[in-house]
Amino acid sequence: MTTTTDCCVLVLRLAAPLQSWGGSSRYNRRETRPQPTKSGVLGLLAAAEGRDREASLTDLVGLQLGVRVDQPGTLLRDYHTYSDYRGIPLLSAKTNAKGQQTRTTPAKHTGVTQRFYLQDAVFVAALRGPKPLLKSLEEAVRNPVYPLSLGRRSCPPVGPVSLGLRSDTELEDALKNVPWQAGSHRRVQAQGTTVSLEATVEDPAGDQLAIDVPDTFDLKSGTRFGRRAVCHFWVTLPTGRAQPDTASPDAGPAGQADHDPFALLGW
């Protein structure tokens, strides 16, 4: 997509102890995607603006989204049991002739639900679109009407979310120009002067599809997810570390640092 003077790019830092980008997962098993979904990011922006769940998302859906994985985090499975506080049997998935849910038979008083989260992850999200809209969204993110969350209400972000507005450019270039946002402990683990980060951008010519474009956040009708084409690539950024000492005992042959196949996973 070519750049224009009527567009700009809003850059967000999405970091928290826990994040969960569930997409279309429902019921008793709530999974998370390894990267923020478009539905989740647009939900954060809609909350910042104070939009009702029934409000139109047409302008937000039209924004292009790019995501960079600065710190992938680790997967957490949270095991829950639940019951009715009144001590009565739980509702089943079956309904009667009136469309009402019936009680479980035989009576079941305890249910199990599994919820998955990303622990200690950091992402950079870039949104490209009309300048007036993104200026309004950037102001809303700095002064949100409703509390911001990263995928679920129980996952508030840490630190400033907005990294500001940038002049119009391709999303791939925007993600290449934002400094590495990983936490201090991840930076200590980095052994070289550069780090390679996975990135995904929305691109009509992309060779993969993501099914995460919401039509509404209305709880009554439920959300149906549309498709968008995306492409994946890698971004190389400076870590801020000095050039490794070639005489270091950890250096391999000819002064080369030992290869760490798990470095990209954040281990």
The structural domains of the chain, with segments of one domain joined by +, span 7-75+119-265
Highest mean pLDDT out of 3-17, 47-61, 94-108: 47-61
Class of domain 7-75+119-265: alpha beta
In terms of pLDDT, which residue wins out, 112 or 177? Answer: 177
DSSP string, the chain: ----TTEEEEEEEEEEEEE---TT--TTEE---SS--HHHHHHHHHHHHT--TTS--HHHHTSEEEEEEEE--EEEEEEEEE--TT-PPPEEEEE-TTSPEEEPSS----EEEEEEEEEEEEEEEEEEEEHHHHHHHHHHHHS-SS---SSSTT----S-SEEEEEES--HHHHHHSSPP---HHHHHH--SSEEEEEEEEE-TT-SEEEEEEES---TTT---EEEEEEEEEEEEEE-SPPPPPTT-TTB-GGGPBPP-TTGGGT-
Q: Residue 264 — very low, low, confident or very high, per pLDDT cuts 50/70/90?
A: low
The reported pLDDT for the residue numbered 260 is 65
The reported pLDDT for the residue numbered 114 is 87
- Lowest-confidence segment of 74-83, 231-240, 242-251 by average pLDDT: 242-251
Which percentage of the chain shows pLDDT scores above 70? 87
**Quick check: 257 pLDDT over 80?**
no
The reported pLDDT for the residue numbered 197 is 97
The reported pLDDT for the residue numbered 254 is 45
